[in-house]
Amino acid sequence: MKSHYDFLIVGAGLSGAVLARQLSDAGRSVLVVEQKDRIGGQVATSLREGIVVHDYGPHIFHTSMEEVWKYVNRYASFYSFINAPLACYKGELYHMPFNMNTFYALWGTKTGEEARKKIEEEKAKENVTSPSNLEEQAIALVGRTIYEKLVKGYTEKQWGRPCNELSPSIIKRLPLRFTYNNNYFTDTYSAEVKGGFSVLVENLLKGIDVVLSTPYNKERKKWDALADAIIYTGMVDELYGCELGRLEYRSLRFDVVRLNQPDFQSNAVVNYTDRDVPYTRITEHRHFDPECPNTTSTYLTYEYPSEYKEGANACYPILDEKNAKLYSLYVEKTKKESKPFYLAGRLGLYRYFDMDDAIKAALDLSEEILKK
């Protein structure tokens, strides 16, 4: 570690790693500090008995941005992966996203015309014209059957409250696909990193100084003194001790289970849409990897949504008017820092990012910084 750097980057997740790579390649000296004992942030993976385990839930890299696709391929090898999750409701299996396979399982409809007619009949029966909550919004979009079996329970588990108490703005649209194509994403590229996403982050940070197990917020003066500018990818409210109030998140608990059997659900992801099942989905990691070794064991992750508490995993920002206003107040505080101070990443920007969007935002920010 040097005595001084051009940039201090707080956070060794995907956004921090891309920023570090870009600034370093432009000739700037960079120090990355990370509060966890390893790099990768939410996309971190681990290797268990030859199986790549997604430590914070399933991640599939999908994008239609050619620039981003070419960029990540400079730092890792990928293999194509088609995300075709299933939904389980009271023991019944349905294809996701909602497509002709789903509609056939629900109603026996075989053509797009038959399925459209059935959905329109259900919507007309409910006659919701001005939805006042999420339940009414979903029924207005897809009718009651799809809502009751595939939306209601899952959504209530995600948000921790009944759908008729949630804002209709949470669900602006529910895609209906009148084909038998089970591919969840419509992007040009959909892939997994060979060896796991931690490999991508490791390669991005190659040759860059990284200090782990470092609680930056508790020792800001010490670390800020080492650099001319700071890029912060952590929780912006905690940066200031939540003195203006705490930004709200939904959290997830990930329980990893090892089974002494070669296969459990024969699919990478199965959502559980029944409200009485406490978890929202089970991920079986071996099914992400076509090169996964034939072992006598398999690894599963059960996901349990919960209210965010300090120290928990902050997964989804609650993007309502109250939190947006509070976030803007914290942003104003960063503008008064004595050194150039930039916010980045899903936590720093208080946004939900797909991986390609996170990378594009980091590339754009690095370009903006280097122009100064």
In the set 135, 224, 250, 356, the catalytic residue is 250
Structure tokens at 74: 């400079």
Looking at residue 172, what DSSP letter applies? S
Annotation says 332 is catalytic = no
In the set 94, 303, 346, 350, the catalytic residue is 303
Q: Distance of CA 349 to CAs 230, 328, 343, 366, Å?
A: 15, 10, 6, 15
How many whole angstroms separate alpha carbon 130 and alpha carbon 138?
Answer: 12
Annotation says 173 is catalytic = yes
The DSSP element (H or E) to which 52 belongs, if any, is strand 51-54
Annotation says 364 is catalytic = no
Residues 6+ apart with CB under 8 A from 166: 133, 134, 135, 155, 159
In the set 281, 284, 299, 356, the catalytic residue is 281
* Side chain identity, residue 99: N
In the set 5, 71, 89, 177, the catalytic residue is 177
Annotation says 303 is catalytic = yes
Q: Distance of CA 138 to CAs 105, 129, 144, 160, 162, Å?
A: 20, 12, 8, 17, 13
Annotation says 354 is catalytic = yes
In the set 352, 364, 367, 368, the catalytic residue is 352
How many whole angstroms separate alpha carbon 114 and alpha carbon 273?
Answer: 25
Annotation says 250 is catalytic = yes
In the set 37, 74, 173, 291, the catalytic residue is 173
Annotated catalytic sites, by residue?
173, 177, 250, 281, 303, 352, 354
